[in-house]
Structure 1
Amino acid sequence: MNAKNEKPRPIIIKRKKIIAGGHHGGAWKVAYADFVTAMMAFFMLMWLLNATTEKQRSGLADYFSPTTAIIRASGGGDGALGGRSMTADASQIEMGRGGVTDTNANGSAAEDGELKALEAAILGKGGESLLDEEELRHVAVRLTDEGLVIEFFDLPGSPLFEGDVPTELLERLFASMGPELRRVPNALAVESFVAAVPVVRREPQLWERSSARAHGARSILPDVGVSDARVVRVTGHADRRPAATDPLSDRNNRLEIIVLRDRVAPR
């Protein structure tokens, strides 16, 4: 056939139509990754709510709040300071890490000096503390008009009393501070506080329990060389004046030994 009589062959162009998000698309992967991330954040939040105390949760909330300039509550740590800052006196005293708070403490300079020296010996401000680090977590000290308040308190899993009977922990705390308490002649007061109980389990025994614990603590003072004659007041306060926001908190189970001002007890 003559080439001049041949018809030109048609040019066929095949174009593949791409459908976004089809079977082999990647959009669903992005959505799935977002879902997994959200679920991980949700389970992390649930774990934090279950594994932290109320104060630690408050500290975590403050940390993520852009309007909070200074965080005075817990940051959620579990070390010796419990996540608290060493620069905040209120936090240090609450956790038993030192610092005397002068709450309108109006006394003579000499008397204030003696009481602050006692506080320094207990908390180790001038060198080695009378207490080891674990014991210090149970102790707070503050200076008031009444005198030097040495506070001992429960921590989760580490109580000061089993029922109304002092534990070995409380006996060790008293034994460690006995020499310093013997060094000053001031009269002493013993006061006890207990945590509230849920309304459904409430029993009218909080006053009796706090009084029994106060007398139990007084009874071991002679064992550490502190004369019973120096104790001029033993008081149980039930669940009044809680130290923690949550009235059921273990932190409200506490005992106070007050080195009173201007009152010298008989030896």
Structure 2
Amino acid sequence: MAGQSNVAPVIIKRKKVVSGGGHHGGAWKVAYADFVTAMMAFFLLMWLLNATTEQQRSGIADYFSPTIPINKVSGGGDGAFGGESVFSEIVLPEVGTGSTSLNATAQDKSSGNEKSEAEQAETKALEEIEKMLAGRSGESDVHPDLLRHIVSRITDEGLVIELFDTDNATLFVDDTLEATPLLRQIASMLVRVTSIVSNKMAVEGHVHARPVVLNDNPVWGLSTQRAEEMRRLMIAQHLDPDRIIRVTGHADRELSARNPMSLRNNRLEIILLRSDR
């Protein structure tokens, strides 16, 4: 019995066989799908950049710009929002000193939150000119070839009309002050379109940057002289000289394109100033 107790125990090992042929899941499929989606979006973006004009690209950018029209409104109830709705226009103010756009208080008017009828009419007239320059007005007779060189926007200062060079056509001959026939046509058209208002004007000149190795950088003089040349062209088309109250050159300090030496930075800006400016 003692001899049998010294016998080593028998250990049996059982190997677990896992079948599946090396399958590692489908995570790579998700990554590949994301890659294909990104490439499709990239090629769609490149196609849009090539197939649209400057104004169309500006419209697309405005469409995706986040805008949240929120007005400060004090309602007439005593609930959490002080009224039936945050944007309620039918509830008369009873609690608080606020107002609605339909029922403005004297305090609201004095603070400048409500535009006068004259300001509203002026803005409407500027918007009409902007539509004509963008070809969105039924009365617009602006030639499509000219529209490719024009971008307009309404700012606090007034209506900014931007004229710029393209790869196929420029406003001036090379780096000189000689206006091309294109710029002469644009000047004539602007005088005609802006004649529906009497706002004062400002003319600004901008040029692209030169290489830093230049000893004599002509950008300041060139931008100012081009703005002055645009003023002369418009006056030659029977614009009232008294309407232009400012002519300035900004050299290459206010770029429109990311590349400082891009032709897109060669531009003129005609600003229809608001009456309070």
Q: Structure 1 113/76 Cα, relative in aligned 2: closer, same or farther at 3 Å?
A: closer
1:115 lines up with 2:126 in the alignment: yes
- Tell me whether 1:235 sits opposite 2:207 in the alignment: no
Look up the SS of the partner of 1:111 in the other structure. Answer: helix
SS of the residue corresponding to residue 167 of structure 2 reads coil
Aligned length: 189
User: Which position in structure 1 is the counterpart of 2:155?
Assistant: 144
CA-to-partner distance for each residue in 1:110-155, whole Å, 9 max, x for gaps?
2110100111122221225332212111000000010000110000
Contact persistence 2:132–2:142 (CA under 8 A):
no
Identity of aligned residues (%): 35
For normalisation by structure 1, the TM-score amounts to 0.62
1:124 aligns with 2:135: yes
- Say if 2:212 is the partner of 1:194: no
TM-score normalized by structure 2?
A: 0.60
Secondary structure of 2:275's aligned partner: strand
Please name the residue that 2:3 is paired with: none
User: What is the match of residue 144 of structure 2?
Assistant: 133
CA distance in 1: counterparts of 2:213 and 2:250, whole angstroms? 21
Counterpart of 1:48 in structure 2 is none
Q: Which amino acid aligns with 2:147?
A: L
Please give the residue correspondences for 1:1-267 in structure 2 after superposition, counting only pairs within 5 Å: 66=38, 75=47, 78-79=50-51, 81=53, 88-90=60-62, 108-127=119-138, 129-162=140-173, 163-201=176-214, 203-262=216-275
The 1-side partners of 2:251 and 2:51 are apart by: 31
- Amino acid corresponding to residue 145 of structure 2 in structure 1: E
What is residue 30 of structure 1 aligned with on the other side?
none
Report the structure, 1 or 2, having the larger strand content.
1
* SS of match in other structure, 1:161: coil
Q: Secondary structure at the match of 2:269?
A: strand
8 Å CA contact retained: 1:123, 1:130: no
Is the 2:227–2:248 contact (alpha carbons within 8 Å) kept by the matching residues of 1?
yes
Specify the code of the residue in structure 2 equivalent to 1:187: K
Secondary structure of 1:262's aligned partner: coil
Q: Which moved more, 1:207-216 or 1:220-229?
A: 220-229
Q: Distance in 1 between matches of 2:236 and 2:152?
A: 22
Give me the CA root mean square deviation.
3.3
Instruction: Give 1:154's aligned amino acid.
Output: D
In the alignment, is the contact (CA less than 8 A) between 2:49 and 2:57 conserved in 1? no
**Aligned partner of 1:189: which letter?**
A
Pair 64,204 (structure 1): closer, same or farther in 2 beyond 3 Å: farther
Helix, strand or coil: the match of 2:121?
Answer: helix
Q: Following TM superposition, by how much is the alpha carbon of 1:157 offset from its aligned partner in structure 2, in angstroms?
A: 3.3
d(CA) in 2 for partners of 1:192 and 1:180? Answer: 21
Deviation at 1:204, TM superposition (A): 2.2
Pair 1:80–1:207, CA change in 2 (3 A): same
Task: Classify 1:174/1:263 alpha carbon distance in 2 versus 1 (closer, same or farther; 3 Å).
Answer: farther
Structure 2: 5+ residue stretches without partners: 1-34, 64-112
